Structure 1
């Protein structure tokens, strides 16, 4: 049983300080053309939230906790499969779909990251582990379509927030979850195993499902339990298990990495979490890391690099990371999350000059654009696929296991 913490011990989070915008999506609907008054209202809220914070928490979004928990159960079952079965679903170079084992990804370019991930870029059942895990494909496909519908609404609301036609982004994201050869949109299931201190100075990476995964469901209140920031500097992990996966890590400064600092590559990301698990962000214009805090049932949306390019950084990409909590009772349980990375269609050209402007904005920026015209003309414009593939190369190129 968790000990009750005093107010003095509570973690100082952005949520506890009311610094995370919360947007209510009640009555937004899932229609291709939602109620105009609702999308206008949400668009205005996005304008403030994304320009000032680069993120927001979405409530009443229509994706049930039960669907999310069932998906995490399916991921746990997959992680527990034998290595030779999981091998059939491994992500390979040139194809983002599939399983990524701990230690493969390195967002800082050098330090392996301790998590299991299953990337879903297509809902074709033959690419999902239905045979070893009956029910996996049907449930995950339904959940993925729920996220896709939510993303479609957000794309319209963001367009409204920028005073452009509400279908502008929707038309450029028409092939979400059709496969990464058409669109890199990905539903990513993530499991961060517990970290158990067996003896001073030694941290063991524990595989398998975590019995505390859904502890946050016993309360409807935000989770403000105390956690302190992990150290900003990481050093190399060492030690591998018999199956080649990282199984023990003894870092020089005692820190352990779950997900290194990075910005997401695409338009925006939707993130559902099962508990307060160490998510930290740098707010726009700040170099300080802040713990976000956990609001049960909410989905976090944050800006990606492509949206930042499109809006000339009016909506900045949010730098974030996942640290391992310092508290033993928190680090000893695993963390599950589901991220929906919303990307434009691969052939979409990404340029800040593509965004249409209304007459007022056009007149106010006319002189500035003239001065930049020669510089812009010399800049090379990339499509969405080229931008994202470069990011993938940066993430995986330093990995000897690939």
Structure 2
């Protein structure tokens, strides 16, 4: 599986990036405008917060889906029966609860990722086959919603060996949104599945890179011209004992009323269905 690594500042970056998405559902920005010191600061600060008792004061709201999701209420991936080995915090801007114990670093990082995400959606719009583009209710960049876009702070605890049988850090799944921006995590483990080869491949995790993948909503909007590729997070072979993992995906979501397909007339309807399937609503 040939996931392309792209120099964001190269003039041919938009075409190389969108070609990679069309071929694999994934692309990697090996250079980008995001402040990496900010990402490392968020990893350090939120690792301490999310593993402390303070996180419990922000237990998630089932209706709004913001706040802290502890280990015992973590997601069960669609089609799976065992919970993922992770806990996380959902940030929605500007309306979601933001912990008073935390600095503004996560806000600043979200703003940078959201701005980059809009640019990448414009790249996809600009390089989409005209026939496919006509299937969209509106250009992707116009469909985007800042209020629905989700910034997730994820902590995967160190694997101890006594976890529930069959459980991994994140079971095989597709994201539901338009595209996901994922700064490379604090440790490896992200894998993508090739249906053609019936094989899992490690996603290129170049230092300080950002990984982008297509979500189910974009797949629906384009009638499967753009494919949401199955991926998972595992404990890498040879990982040292006691290594945990921090990750901060930004899930770019459309406005609730955006038309996706005959099967899913609105983005909100599709999202509600998935949240029930994941067992968090």
Partner residue in 2 for 1:294: 205
2:188 equivalent to 1:277 = yes
How far off is 1:101 after superposition?
1.2
Partner residue in 2 for 1:323: 234
Question: What is the CA deviation profile of residues 232-289 of structure 1, one whole-angstrom value per residue up to 9, with x for unaligned ones?
Answer: xxxxxxxxxxxxxxxx5253xxx54110110000111111123442111113544311
Partner residue in 1 for 2:4: 21
Partner residue in 2 for 1:127: 97
Q: Partners in 2 of 1:256 and 1:109 — Cα distance? A: 10
Q: Partners in 1 of 2:185 and 2:176 — Cα distance? A: 23
Q: Partners in 2 of 1:305 and 1:394 — Cα distance? A: 14
How far off is 1:64 after superposition?
2.1
Q: Partners in 1 of 2:8 and 2:17 — Cα distance? A: 11
Q: Partners in 2 of 1:391 and 1:257 — Cα distance? A: 20
**Residue of structure 2 aligned with 1:73, choices 44, 47, 62:** 44
Q: Partners in 2 of 1:396 and 1:73 — Cα distance? A: 29
1:308/1:317 contact within 8 Å kept: yes
Partner residue in 2 for 1:154: 120
Partner residue in 2 for 1:232: none
Q: Structure 1: which 5+ residue stretches go unaligned?
A: 1-13, 28-37, 197-202, 204-247, 352-378
Q: Partners in 2 of 1:264 and 1:303 — Cα distance? A: 7
Structure-2 change in CA distance of 1:273 and 1:325 (3 Å): same
How far off is 1:43 after superposition?
3.4
Larger Rg: 1
1:280/1:292 contact within 8 Å kept: yes
2:86/2:157 contact within 8 Å kept: yes
1:266/1:306 contact within 8 Å kept: yes
* Pairwise CA RMSD: 2.2
Q: Partners in 2 of 1:389 and 1:324 — Cα distance? A: 30
Structure-2 change in CA distance of 1:172 and 1:284 (3 Å): farther
Question: What is the CA deviation profile of residues 154-178 of structure 1, one whole-angstrom value per residue up to 9, with x for unaligned ones?
Answer: 110000111558x8211111x31x2
**Aligned residue pairs, count:** 273
Q: Structure 2: which 5+ residue stretches go unaligned?
A: none
How far off is 1:86 after superposition?
2.4
Partner residue in 2 for 1:195: 159
Partner residue in 1 for 2:76: 106
2:60 equivalent to 1:94 = no
Q: Which runs of 4+ in 1 moved over 6 A?
A: none
2:163 equivalent to 1:249 = yes
1:260/1:322 contact within 8 Å kept: yes
Question: What is the CA deviation profile of residues 192-241 of structure 1, one whole-angstrom value per residue up to 9, with x for unaligned ones?
Answer: 11124xxxxxx2xxxxxxxxxxxxxxxxxxxxxxxxxxxxxxxxxxxxxx
- Where 1:67 maps in the other structure, the secondary structure is helix
Q: Partners in 2 of 1:308 and 1:285 — Cα distance? A: 18
How far off is 1:291 after superposition?
1.8
How far off is 1:310 after superposition?
1.7
Q: Partners in 2 of 1:393 and 1:58 — Cα distance? A: 33
- Where 1:195 maps in the other structure, the secondary structure is coil
